[in-house]
A and B are shown apart, each in its own frame.
Chain A
């Protein structure tokens, strides 16, 4: 099984800050990685697919990069509506999610 490890598990940042979340796969998964946003009580929402492609309608302050085993998710300027938990997900071998990163406003 492929394990996905996200860090940090939570973070607190100010509005306008740059926020970075990392995701590490237990083996090489090329670019077969997606990122999701989940707000409390809501279903997850796809933000980034294939490591770096922005889903239609998603603000450009969200971005993703990486390949192989190491991936990065970035919010260039944190907004109040970005408060949520973010998950990475691999699809190289079935589908596995990272444990999530909770983003809060400082």
Chain B
């Protein structure tokens, strides 16, 4: 059974940093593209960042480019999102998701809440 466990969220001041983690199990992690998708309180879904399967490229939404860094550790079956220079508008629940073939998000973590506030 595919399982994704998101962690690392919390309260951080504007300009601060946070690192999110996603622990994956139940599938061959290196064979799947992965993404982070976020949802601001009461709002819709926004794709944030992604990594293809078996590829070193990374992709970012314009809203986070230059501030966020996605990475994966296949030895630990883990996906990460390093978030720097955080802004109030980054406040959201962040979900990791498998992104099969770069097409659909077929499995999701439970989400982790990031709150950027002074």
The chain A residues found within 8 Å of chain B, CB to CB, are 32, 34, 36, 38, 43-46, 49-50, 55, 87, 89, 91, 94-100
Contacts and interface: CB of A to CB of B under 8 A. Distances in A.
B109 A43 contact: yes
A91 B102 CA distance: 8
Nearest to A45: B108
Given A55-B106, A91-B104, A43 B111 contact: yes
A46 B61 CA distance: 21
B59 interface: yes
25 contacts: A32-B103, A34-B103, A34-B104, A43-B95, A43-B108, A43-B109, A43-B110, A44-B108, A45-B108, A46-B104, A46-B105, A49-B106, A50-B103, A55-B106, A87-B44, A89-B45, A89-B104, A91-B102, A91-B103, A94-B59, A95-B47, A95-B50, A95-B105, A100-B44, A100-B45
Interface of B: 35, 37, 44-47, 50, 59, 61, 95, 99, 102-106, 108-111
Given A34-B104, A87-B45, A95 B110 contact: no
The residue among B37, B45, B99 with the most chain A CB atoms within 10 A of its own CB is B45
Nearest to A98: B44
Contacts of B108: 43-45
Across the A-B interface, give the 7 residue pairs with the lowest CB-CB distance, nearest first: A43-B108, A95-B47, A97-B45, A49-B104, A34-B104, A100-B44, A99-B44
Contacts of B45: 36, 38, 44, 87, 89, 97, 100
Contacts of B102: 91
A43 B39 CA distance: 10
B30 to A, nearest CB: 21
A97 B109 contact: no
B64 to A, nearest CB: 13
